[in-house]
Chains A and B, each alone.
Chain A
Amino acid sequence: MSRVRSISGRGRTRRKKKSFEIDITSLLDILVILLVFLIKNYNASGIVLNVPKGIELPTSKSQSLNTSGIIVQVSPNTIWVDDKIILEAQKDTLAEDRTGRRIIPLFNELVKKKEVIKQIEKSSPNAKKFSGVVNLVVDKTIKYSYVKKLMYTAAAAGFGKYKFVVMTEE
């Protein structure tokens, strides 16, 4: 029995499109792995703390994190204040005062920061008040004699609380 098709019917059947399918199984595998990894490392505190290259933090059992205030990062060769380099080559004797206890560029930068915060505090009632907290992000190989200078300089600049930033033991 012969099939009889109308002329209009023939055209429709021939132009019928095949659905375009992409196998996204492997892509989903990747996304799931990525998602699990990112969720595991998600920090809900919203605090961004930059640890510059050259600083290896000491490990600690501490579980508290409430970082606010100025961040001073110290590697064996460089000092940053809020990610801005203020001193390179730590053994620069010109950077210290006569007593050798205070690091002058650090002191000047901290005083500047303090003044800025206090000016904002005066001009805006809703602004954060000066907390006097300094976060010390210090490389673990640095000796106490230098940490002592950092602490003394911060205290002299009007920062009365130190927070030693450490890495949690796994």
Chain B
Amino acid sequence: MRAFGTWVALAALAPSLAFAGEWEFGGELAGELRAFPQEPALDAQLSDFQPSAVVLGDIRWTSDNGKHQLVAVPFYRLDGEDDERTHADLREGYYRYAGNNVDILVGAGKVFWGVAESRHLVDIVNQTDAVEDIDEEDKLGQPMVKVSLLKDWGTIDLFALPYFRPRTFPGSRGRLRFDPVINADDPIYEDADEEWNTDFAVRYSHFFGSFDVGVSGFTGTSREPRFTFSPEGLDANGQLVPIYDQINQVGVDVQYTNEAWLWKFEGIVREGQGDTFAATVAGFEYTFFGVTDGGADLGILVEHLYDGRDEFLAPPTASDNDLFYGARYALNDFQDTSILVGAITDLENGSSSGLVEAERRFGQNWTAELEARFFYNVDEEDLLSVFQDDSVVTFRVTRYF
């Protein structure tokens, strides 16, 4: 009930602030169609097409002096096939005080830590909204009290996270899922306080010449669940039960920027899920500027992924020893047209997933995106094997307001 108290406090605060300030109302509406060219592996799964629609609101109030802000970013997806993918979330919903050297945020917030492209290892505060996509880029709003100190020697962010958001997963109709289906809503927690265990996190970030550095720590409920693929890991309906352990994790992210080169490293050490283990992402991004008369840029991306976690006592990962390689082509036209092509290949068994993403703006308020994700050369032993019939093409049109 701690969160409830917070909201009461906010509600009491809001009217007194509402005298002088500026309201902004915005948002977006999107229509999305996923197409699955292959037959599903399981009878229960949808075949062919998965249409859906998304509404995202964006409501902001900022005081005249700019120091106080109230923000609400509600999200809702209506999915035509998968009931679990029909879901709502408060992506952001907070009060923020922005002082000269201090920033305080209370409510549901979103933060990003890290520098890598293919995997966001150190980024642990927000839970992944995994029913949205398997790329772990979509995040659920995280209830938090965040205090940031902004100094000329760097930024320190302190987080108290009073409530845990379990990861979302596709339902039985959904593609890109495990078999059996995961019962996302009724997980097992290691801690007796379950989702009310208060997690803590801290991050220091700054730059030193050409080096941008972040150092972070986290103690609390793992955002990644593990599973027991045996009868005791299933509930009464035969569904997989997520298990959320208590973990401690430290992370480091570094980027070295030199001319057209960006060199990137992220590393974590985590305890609490089998033996203490380390995981890393290391690589580079190199950009060829002005490859056409129109001024298009071509970027080359390469990253190596390593993960030393226990195969059975830790959450599953496909990124144990993999190579990501890709290219990003940005036309630098006034529609901001860009294309990303990439793939991740397991260096031990060759299992691969490829990705093509193209996007462009139309007029002032519309964008269109086309994404293709495909799985090839998949080894039966690789985690990717559960997705191997689920290559997918997604088309999305978004109207911004």
A and B associate in one complex = no
